[in-house]
Every structure is written in structure tokens, then in C-alpha cells.
Chains A and B, each alone.
Chain A
Amino acid sequence: MKYIDFPTLGRRPSSEFVVGGIIDPEPAELDGISPGEWVFNRDSIPMRRTEWWYHTPTQLWFLVERHTATDEVFGATLAGAAIDG
């Protein structure tokens, strides 16, 4: 099992998280792309990128930087204090 250091949580196994995918541009930034293409299309080429990760036990969202060819994780930050209301 892969263990990753998270702010607030400490060291947690990756199995406690649901990955919400890459951070997309906002619809307002769309340029020449139809809404359907924005909804569905993904650039799933191997790369280092920032993803949404959801921690199921605490219901906290994190931003995790990961390489999708090697599965290497470079760091995690808590996603916006605005979320915990």
C-alpha cells in the first residue's frame, strides 16, 4: 500500500482517498470548445499534474501533485479553507 504525507491528516494510505481527476479550467475560460467537449474530454497523456483527492473518512478535499506515468506523488495541500464551513 502506498502511504502519502498529508497536511492536517499526517501519513495516510492512498486507499482512503477517491481521486476526482485533474483540475479542469473553468467553463468561462473555454475557447472554441463545446460544453459537451468540456464536460467529457480529458487529456489523459502521461504527465505531472495536480488532481483533486477526496479523503473519505474526514470528507476533506486535497490538491495532490502526481505523475501519471510513475505514480510518484510530489506533495499535497488542503483544498481551500472555504470548503470546511
Chain B
Amino acid sequence: MSIRLLKYAFIEDWAEPRFFNTPDELRDSYDVVIIGAGGHGLATAYYLAREHGITNVAVLDQSYIGGGNTGRNTTIIRSNYLTEEGVKFYDQSVELFKSLSEELDLNIFYSERGHFTLAHSDATLRTARWRAEVNKHYGVDSEVVGPDDILKACPQIQLDCGGNHEILGALYHAPGAVARHDAVAWGYAKRASEAGIEIHQHTEVTGIDVAGGRVVGVTTPRGKIQAGAVVSAVAGFTPTVLSMVGLSSPIEIFPLQACVTEPIKPWLDTIIVSGSLHLYVSQSSRGEMVMGASLDPMELHSRRSTFEFVSNLADQLLDMFPFLSQVNVNRQWAGMADMTPDFAPVMGTTPVGGFYVDAGWGTWGFKATPISGKTMAATVANARDDELITDFNLSRFGDYELVGEKGAAAVGH
């Protein structure tokens, strides 16, 4: 037990301040209302205050902070994407993540592990080489490695995968990391709150008021609020919120599931992803095996998890790591992933004045939390898309200007 904890046992007044203090009452009006207190909404709030001095801001969540996909993801952070837009964007996010514990004054347990995307076929190996070259061109550390290098980093892996899907090589990305997702949400909440921003949990936005082509406020069960600008950062609820302002988008909601085993001794240092086996796995700092697969096959607005998911996953996993057959699954869950046809996000201004969207984060948005917050804050403050995100605007679909990130985001989240 830490001395600090022991000390608290004898102190009557709890010395540690609360993470955030929000008044019970909503104000009548805010400069900016952010819908969704996931990592993205909270990071946007924080950077609005820190970089633009905008603090008359409320972050509203229908539930509790970080209870959406932020608290349900498998926390993989990497920047080995396929397109120029993607690589530049995620690389800046990785850089922000590296110093985030200091910036938020909270240990987010950022842990660099190295990230292997396994190739079981020539075709996958070709994509790996393509990604490695694009990455290197933009200064991101990625290379194609052979089976020996994989075995060196992970001696427990069965390279023949039960005889059906022999591992031929991998894309290796040394900066690949994991972090504590809750800490990211809570850290941003704490810092935003210190700057005077209000975080109202259990406050659902049920309508958005538009007048003369501009947002003027939002409706909640606790009353109407006026707002100069509204940011939607609601991931799996984006189509519903967009419909409140009459906007359509290509975003479709599919469940994405994950699970963890009971904690076991540390043995897996790296992150292993296999697109062919629909599987990825890492070991958390508590010793649990954190595992996930690709999306459920049908659109569904639900967070139910299924037995098929764990049984299919176990089937594939045991081809690669047979000794895990002794280990029990402890928990499983699902999130609602907001998928786009090109596997790239939808960010920035919209045809409705003062209404900004941060969505299309699908299965890959946790790693983007810091840079999304930063670029969305700049976009709101300047009423103009930040230059790092112009290619991600909602208008790209109508203009046939898709970003084409599927090759780097389909299973490896």
C-alpha cells in the first residue's frame, strides 16, 4: 500500500480534490456546447480552454464520462496508416500522447510495446511493404520484418498457425503503444474543469435548434440552452445527432466487441494483429490478455455482446497461441462503432453554421483523441477547418474525394 493511501485513511477531510466540479445548474447560455463527454469531446474542451482561451463551454453527456467507446476500446495507439492524410494526422497524435501524462498531470500508463501486423499471404505482405514505404517517407518508424524477427519478439507464437495460415512476415511499427483509456478521459475532464469548463453528465441532447442556417442552442430534458457553437462528438450516436440538424452522412453503426482474460504473468510484450485471422491481442499492465476482432457483420445500435464473438476469437487465437487454452475469459463487452466507407474520420465544419462534427471514428479513434481535440478546438475557435483535417470534411463524399484508409484500419484498430 502506498504511504499516500495510508495517510488518507487517517485524514478526515479528503485532501485530494475531486476530478471535476460542475455546478448542479446548467447556465442559460454557453459559447460552445459539446455533445458527448468521451475522450474526443473532453479533449476538445481542454484545448479550447488551453489554446484559445474559450472557457464558457459545457460538455454534455447522456450517460457518464468515458462510458462510450472511450471506455470500451482496446487502447492501441499507432500511426502506421496508409494515406498521407492519415499518417500525418495520427503521427501528431502519437507525439501528443507521449507527453500526455505530464500535460494532464495524471499517469495515463502510456506504454510503448511495438506493433506487429502479421502477414499470412503474399497480398498482405505487399500491403505491409506499401505501408512501410509510405510511413518511412513521412518519418514514421515502420518496417517489414520476417518470421525470425517475430519469433524473437514473441517466442510463444506458433508461426504455422495450426497449419492453415502460416505467418510469412509482418509490418513492424516500433512506436505502437497502449494506454489507460479511462485515464485519458478523466485527465482531460480534470484539466478542462480546472479551466472553468462545465461537464454535465446524465444530460442528453434531444434536439438542436437551428435558425437561419445556424445553430442557436440545444434541448435537453433539463431545459433549453443557447449556444454560439455546437460540437457533436458522439461516436456511435452520430447519425441520430446529425438528423437533429437535418444532415445526412455515410456513417453506419456496427457493434465492435472485445474481451479480456483473467490476469496472467507478463509474457507478451508486443501488440499482435492478424487481419487474416480477424484477431488482435496485447497484454495489459494488470496482466490480462486484451483481445478483439473485426466488426459484427450487421448494422446494429446496441452494445450487447455475443457468444459467437468469443468462440470465434478463441478458435483463431488458439491456432496462434495454443497454451492460452488454459486461460479463462473474464469479461466481454461491445461498443457502437461509427463506420465510414473509407475508414477515415469525418471532422470539422458542416453546412449548418456553428455546427461542427467529430465522428467516423469507427474502430480506430482512441489513438486520435489528443489530435482530434486539438484540431477540433482550433476549428471551432477559428470557424474554419484546421489544415490538418481539411481532407476529412463531411463534404468529401458528395465530392468523391474519399481518403482510402481501409488497408490500414480494417482489423488493426
Contacts and interface: CB of A to CB of B under 8 A. Distances in A.
Contacts of A40: 250, 341, 397-398
A34 B398 contact: yes
Contacts, number: 60
A42 B240 contact: no
Given A37-B397, A41-B249, A42-B251, A19 B297 contact: yes
Contacts of A18: 297
Nearest to B341: A40
A9 B298 CA distance: 21
A69 interface: yes
B400 interface: yes
A34 B397 CA distance: 10
B253 A44 contact: yes
Interface residues of A, number: 21
Nearest to A70: B302
Contact of B398 (A15, A37, A44): A37
A45 B246 CA distance: 12
Given A15-B308, A41-B249, A41-B250, A36 B397 contact: yes
Given A36-B398, A68-B300, A44 B308 contact: no
Contact of B250 (A42, A45, A68): A42
B252 A44 contact: yes
B315 to A, nearest CB: 14
Q: Which of A39, A69, A71 has the most CB of B within 10 A?
A: A71
A43 interface: yes
Given A36-B400, A40-B250, A19 B298 contact: yes
Nearest to A18: B297
Interface in B369-399: 397-399
Interface in A29-69: 34, 36-37, 39-46, 68-69
Contacts of A46: 240, 301
A18 B296 CA distance: 11
Contact of B248 (A37, A68, A70, A71): A37
A39 B400 CA distance: 10
A43 B243 contact: yes
Interface of A: 1, 14-15, 18-19, 21, 34, 36-37, 39-46, 68-71
9 nearest A-B residue pairs (beta carbon)? A40-B250, A40-B397, A46-B301, A41-B248, A36-B398, A44-B239, A44-B252, A69-B301, A37-B398
18 contacts: A14-B298, A18-B297, A19-B299, A21-B252, A21-B299, A36-B399, A40-B397, A41-B250, A41-B397, A42-B239, A42-B250, A42-B252, A43-B239, A44-B252, A44-B299, A44-B301, A45-B239, A45-B243
Interface of B: 239-240, 243, 248-253, 297-302, 304, 308, 341, 397-400
